[in-house]
Amino acid sequence: MKYLIVLAICIYSANATIKCVQGDAKEATACASADDKLCSQPKFTEFTGLATGVKYACGACAGETKDSTCEECTGTADAGCNTPKTAGADFKCYTYTYNATSKAFAMSTAASACKRLEKTAIACNMPKSDATMTTYTLKTGCGNCTTKDTACESCAKDSCNKASGAIRVATLLAPILAVLINFL
């Protein structure tokens, strides 16, 4: 008798539908098909935000969106694994663009919004005074420096990556001063 009960539970579990968050709903509901084993959701990229054009759903990510704009997880019958992530408050950072003519980075006039998850710390980055196109490659100013960006410095406050005018003038005048000293 015990074996029959265990067998019945196994058969029921194998045929049970999983629960996933679907569409705009905040709560997980049962999937329509017992064949669904995965749940999918928009991918959240730190400092960029939630991917657009992807819905919370039962089943695998559509097309070739997996890991680029969509994430998958293995569903269960008791709870949805694709629950929306809790976002933290936005913060701002300045972006830097390399000017090939002046061989220097120019700071944006306005700071851009950076998106983060609730437990992610605020982080901005900026090029050091000796940065080049190959030693500083970050595009948004949001987030920490990477190991690839050797001429990068990070800070941990809203809009903290603003280069001061004195640093910019010193960076531009340093080569001129070097030339003048060599002529003396």
- Mean pLDDT, residues 154-177: 69
85, 114, 135 - which closes a domain: 85
Q: What are phi and psi of 175, to 5 degrees?
A: -65, -35
Asked if residue 11 is part of any domain, the answer here is no
73: CB partners within 8 A, 6+ apart: 38, 39, 40, 41, 81, 82
Tell me if 114 sits within 8 A of 131, measured CB to CB. Answer: no
Total number of domains constituting the chain: 2
| Rounded-to-10 torsion of CA 96, 97, 100, 105 | -10
Asked if residue 8 is part of any domain, the answer here is no
Half-sphere exposure (CA, 13 Å, Cβ side) for 152? 25
What is the per-residue pLDDT for 164? 67
Tell me if 43 sits within 8 A of 107, measured CB to CB. Answer: no
pLDDT tens figures, 94-142: 999 999 998 899 999 999 999 999 999 999 999 999 999 999 999 899 9
Q: Are residue 26 and residue 80 in the same domain, yes or no?
A: yes
Distance in angstroms (rounded) separating the CA atoms of residues 127 and 132: 8
What domain range includes position 79?
18-85
Asked if residue 157 is part of any domain, the answer here is yes
What is the per-residue pLDDT for 166? 39
132: CB partners within 8 A, 6+ apart: 98, 103, 151
* Strand, coil or helix: 184: coil
Asked if residue 9 is part of any domain, the answer here is no
Q: How many CB atoms lie within 10 A of CB 120?
A: 14
Distance in angstroms (rounded) separating the CA atoms of residues 19 and 36: 9
What is the per-residue pLDDT for 139? 86
* Strand, coil or helix: 59: coil
Q: Are residue 45 and residue 68 in the same domain, yes or no?
A: yes
Asked if residue 173 is part of any domain, the answer here is yes
pLDDT tens figures, 16-71: 799 999 998 889 999 999 999 999 999 999 999 999 999 999 999 999 999 999 99
> Which long-range CB contacts under 8 A does 143-146 form with residues at least 24 apart?
143/46, 143/47, 143/114
Tell me if 135 sits within 8 A of 151, measured CB to CB. Answer: yes
